[in-house]
Structure formats: structure tokens, C-alpha cells
Amino acid sequence: MEDIKKQIDIRERLILALDVDDVVLAYNLIEKLAPYIKFYKLGLQLITKDGPRMVMTLRRKGLKIFYDAKFFDIPQTVYNASYEAARLGVNMINVHALGGEKMIGYAREAIEKAAEKMQIERPLLLAVTILTSMDNKDLKENLKCNYDVKKMVLTLTKKAKDAGADGIICSPNELKLLRKEFGDDIIIVTPGIRIKKIKKDDQKRVLTPKEAIKDGADYIVVGRPVLQAEDRLEVIENIFNEIKAGEQCRKKK
């Protein structure tokens, strides 16, 4: 895992979430921001609207892709879906950790076979722990779970890692706990990154880019703070500066 981490360029630590409902806007964003941002997240809406073609566009430009489909189904169905996603040549694929170890193991097997067949680099397999829109109250009321978020994230991470996941997706609030437990032995991708308060924000567990990197995130996923900015390039450069500052703080620990 350390070899993977050494290959992470600082300008790839920022993953831009293309969470827009207009395909034309998405392509325009890619065209304008490609010189500055090298990693892009395709979520369920864009995947459904124009997924494969958008992946090809990103690949032609030499950009990296996080295929954020959050697969969660019976193991064989997840195997099939993961196989097809990996064949597209994406760099990250995710599944829900709640799907269980067998499902995660099937996803790992699928992407390995697809990468071997296509003779491409295997995408990282990530497991979604608890969505950043959920908190302790949600776990108790909706999942009837007696664990708090941190304990649940820790439990799911252990199971995902044992099943073959390269890493996990968690909120910034669980970073310190996971780094203490696993050290550098997992990749951690962290959404819930905010520069300032955003109206109608559905994220409940958030931190700044500097805080997230300092606490152990390998990659941060940012959407609205960039997409809603009046000067996107200024915001992007500020985020990169925060990432650098966070890395420096992390090295001093």
C-alpha cells in the first residue's frame, strides 16, 4: 500500500465531484478545469445519463476517474457490474461496505479479471462506510444500530479490508481513528470537505481540506465549494495550498 501512496501526486489528491444535472455543463467543466484538476468523480446521475462516454472523454484527456456508483447488491450482480466498470478503464470503483465481505470479495475478483483481460492497471476498490449525510441519530433511527458512527465505520473498515478492499470512503471525522487503527495500510478517500458553510448542505460530518489531509486523508472529494464558486480557479488553488499545508502538518506528527 505504501507504493501506491508514493505515487499520489499532490494535484491528484483533489477529486472534483462532477455533481451536476446537465451533461453539457459537465463536459464544459472538464474542458475548462482539466489543466488544473487531474481527478474527477462521476456520481450516479452522470453515470446514468452518460457514464461510458464521459469516462472515455476523461481518459482521452489523460485524466483520472473515480466511478462513484456505490454498488450494493447480491455478490454476483456486484461482480458483473464491477467487471464492466473496470473494463472502462477507471481508476477507482466503490461498493457499499454494508454489502458484506462476500460481496466485496466478488468485486475485487471482478476488477482483477477485467484489468487482466483488458491489460490495464487495476482500479482501486473502495468501500463506502457510513454516508456523510448520516449521523448517530440516523444510525439509530434508520438502521436500528446501537453503534455510534465511529464504531460502525471502524467495524466496516476492518471487514472491507479483510475482504480485499484497497481502502474506504469515510467522513473527515473518522480519519484520526482509522489512521490510529490501520496506519498507512489503507487508502482513505474523504468527502464532506467544505471551505465555508453552504446553504441547503446535506453533509453533517465535515472538515476543511487542510484538516482532512492533516488527519490522514489520501484524497479529498470536493464538489459544491468549487462548482458554486464565482472564481473557480482561485478556489482550486486555495484548496491545493491547504492540501500542501495539511501534508506538512502530517509529516511533523
Q: What is the pLDDT along the chain (253 residues), one digit of tens a residue?
A: 545 455 567 889 999 999 998 999 999 999 999 999 999 999 999 999 999 999 999 999 999 999 999 999 999 999 999 999 999 999 999 999 999 999 999 999 999 999 999 999 999 999 999 887 888 888 888 878 888 899 999 999 999 999 999 999 998 899 999 999 999 999 999 998 887 654 445 555 568 999 999 999 999 999 989 999 999 999 999 999 999 999 998 887 6
Strands 64-71 and 187-190, sheet pairing: unpaired
Distance CA 35, CA 220 (A): 18
The conformation of residue 230, written as its DSSP 8-state character, comes to: S
Rounded to whole angstroms, the Cα distance separating 51 from 199 reads 28
With beta carbons less than 8 A apart as the criterion, state whether 33 and 61 touch.
no
Q: Whole-angstrom distance between the N-terminal and C-terminal Cα of the chain?
A: 20
Q: What is the DSSP letter of 90?
A: -
Please check whether residue 206 is in contact with residue 172, taking contact to mean a CB–CB distance below 8 angstroms. yes
Q: At what angle do helices 175-182 and 149-163 cross, to 10 degrees?
A: 40
For the chain, the maximum distance between any two Cα atoms, rounded to a whole number of angstroms, is 47
Say how far apart CA 19 and CA 41 lie, in whole Å: 8
Read off φ and ψ for residue 146, nearest 5 degrees: -85, -10
Which contiguous run of DSSP H or E holds residue 64? strand 64-71
Q: How far is CA 100 from the centre of its chain?
A: 19
Q: Would you state the pLDDT for residue 129?
A: 94
Q: What is the chain's length?
A: 253
Supply the pLDDT for residue 99: 96
Estimate the share of the chain in helix, then strand, then coil, as percent rounded to the nearest 5.
55, 15, 30
pLDDT at 11: 83
Helix (H, G, I), strand (E, B) or coil at 111: helix
CATH topology for 2-252 is TIM Barrel (3.20.20)
Global pTM?
Answer: 0.91
- Residue in this structure with the C-alpha cell 447488491, named with its chain if needed: 73
DSSP class of 122: P
Residues assigned a catalytic role: 70
37 contact partners, CB below 8 Å, separation of at least 6 = 11, 14, 16, 236
